Structure 1
């Protein structure tokens, strides 16, 4: 979020800077009733600040900060299908205000996934003479998968859901490094807790990291725990059903893909990034 979009701070009579002059950034306004008992009510700034915290904690990549449904191009059939599936999935989320004033979050017990028709690993295994043409016919890069899923993440954050966005290679490297740290597992536990307990986990380019037995175990742990807790995973991959299973493990892939139901789409099409650079 750019600094220019942030509300300028105001100074009180003591010269202290506050973004909200009403509650002095405490997010609550304190009152006294007729009997002199003190009570507090949330300030109008509280939800706005909570939204900013959720947005910051989501770890949205810089290149997708401006990704929105409104600026997603739908110039062909597969882009329209991806868009409509994501909107349908978004409509399964809701927040219900209960009688005691608390809010109950309703989330679908389903994942949303965009994967390749022919996976990157399968293409790499083709003879050199066939590879270029096969890549052209079955391109899965730059088709808008991540853009749509980040737009979904931002809408859910605005609606009050806690969302975590991870990029596969970076995330798996962090987990492996944490496993090797001499801190009694504290860093690893923190990373795993965030991934397992977020309302929604957006996993970008899953299966991109180089396979290892340790990574396969971590994939399974996160995906299985979220499966048990009925917490959704929104994911995309440049691998297909078969090659994704080889990259993250068959058990993890079975739970990940199996929880999609009708919200799994195999995508291939033109690379719009190449079109923009042409």
Structure 2
């Protein structure tokens, strides 16, 4: 492949990065929110959008690292006394206020996804702790599919409602939780709800994992959903991206200060020579 072809490919990639990233994010959201998609279409859309998002973010990080390395190399040669007349290096630097703001917002968004979104680290932590809780056998006393019509019949959401009765130290308790963050199980497709009501059918004997010091806190399923891992991974990528941009901002600020100090020294030296 010729150099010109590579340059064209790079320019095309840079032009398409933003729309491709937006399409991938919208596709991932649509896989959960669009009511007219079948389960198979949701699965395909999800597994196309997710790898595309990861690829675009990782590729952008690699590109930023390469650009930073090239820039540092040029600046090192400048300090060594080469290319002192280079317009690229001698151009006036501007304070990276916008990059500071963007980096902080992106890093904050990443941390928010990890720690503040209920389906993120909170869910992982609660589910992991529940897997180490003691369990007792309980009985499903209600298993039905409930609907939330919303403002439009096309926006109808579906959720399984499983009520389980269990005993701890001869005291009766009832839990309506299959897993923590039960509110996240509202879906447009009813296949998940029917699958849960089939798995936890009326009269089924099931394991109930309860908190030792608070037996009324209990769940039936202690596994961690794949979406939780995605939220944590995506949040971590955003945080690292924001942290890297913040580091670039700090480096540019240092170079601005160094340039100002150098200019003042040169000015002072020139005045002394005269």
Q: Is the structural similarity TM-score above 0.5? A: no
TM-score by length of 2: 0.22
TM-score by length of 1: 0.22
Structure of higher CA gyration radius: 2
